[in-house]
Amino acid sequence: MTSEDRITALRMLAEEASECTRCPLHEGRTHVVFGDGNPRADLMFIGEGPGRHEDEQGLPFVGRSGQLLSTLLERVGLSRTDVYIANVVKCRPPGNRDPRPDEIAACKSYLAEQIRLIDPAAVVTLGNFSTKLLLKTETGITRMRGRAYPWWNRHVVPTFHPAAALRNGPRVVEEMVTDLQLATRIIAERPSAPDGETAREPEQTALFS
Ligand code: URA
């Protein structure tokens, strides 16, 4: 699959998701927050789910957590246009509650397909929800972070959710910077597959099975 084909497929998937009614979260949403950024990114970030500002604007991480994420990216020499950002669930849980297992189950094939089409060398999981989904673990983020995990011919680098850094202060921010530095080292060592090649491409259905 060429890079152009991937971008077209990603656009079609976003269109499909924009009308999604697979779970009850669609009833309360203003916008589906599919994802944003560089569809050819070597580095992808996965959060939890949209908050109020994201729901209003239809874009991920545009509220306070998003501002911190942008600052963290700058600290490691990246900008939002270098990376791709998505969430585990694409519609806002009411009152910012945690996404439920049935909602995650209904939504996760969108994320699996996003990862397959973008084909990043490293995926940074922000917080417990995305880390547990990808790495199939019950271990909390505090113990998981600080290292990279091989995952479908790429790497997952778990780190805290920016909201945790906003709550807990500079020590958590610095740990997140350390984790992002690790992710940037991985992408420097393992550049993206040449156009047309699908070296890291897993079976989409197997990703979260
Ligand atoms: N928190 C998330 O997990 N995702 C967003 O898009 C915004 C805040």
Instruction: Note the pLDDT tens digit of each residue in 54-93.
Output: 999 999 999 999 999 999 999 999 999 999 999 999 999 9
- Report CA(1)–ligand 1 centroid distance (Å): 30
* Residue of 46, 54, 133 to mutate, ligand 1, most atoms within 8 A of C-beta: 54
The pLDDT score that the predictor gives to residue 117 is 97
Instruction: Point out the ligand 1 atom lying closest to the alpha carbon of residue 59.
Output: 6
With a CB cutoff of 8 Å and minimum separation 6, the contacts of 193 are 119, 199, 200
- Report CA(47)–ligand 1 centroid distance (Å): 5
**More confident site: 203 or 20:** 20
CB within 6 Å of ligand 1 — which residues? 47-51, 54, 60-61, 63, 65-66, 87
- Report CA(188)–ligand 1 centroid distance (Å): 26
Count of other CB atoms within 10 angstroms of residue 205: 11
The pLDDT score that the predictor gives to residue 208 is 72
Q: pLDDT tens digits for 91-132? A: 999 999 999 999 999 999 999 999 999 999 999 999 999 999
| 99 vs 103: CA distance, rounded Å | 6
Placement of tokens 């109020």 in the chain: 52
Instruction: Report which protein residue has its CA nearest ligand 1's atom 7.
Output: 61
Domains parsed from the chain with CATH numbers: 3-188 (3.40.470.10)
Say if CB 131 and CB 155 are below 8 A apart: no
DSSP-derived pairing of the beta strands 154-159 and 149-151: antiparallel
* Residue of 159, 161, 166 to mutate, ligand 1, most atoms within 8 A of C-beta: 161
- Say which amino acid occupies 67: Q
pLDDT band at 201; cut points 50, 70, 90 = low
- Report CA(194)–ligand 1 centroid distance (Å): 31
Average pLDDT, the chain: 93
Longest Cα–Cα distance of the chain, Å, equals 44
Q: pLDDT tens digits for 162-193? A: 999 999 999 999 999 999 999 999 999 975 55
pLDDT band at 23; cut points 50, 70, 90 = very high
| 43 vs 30: CA distance, rounded Å | 28
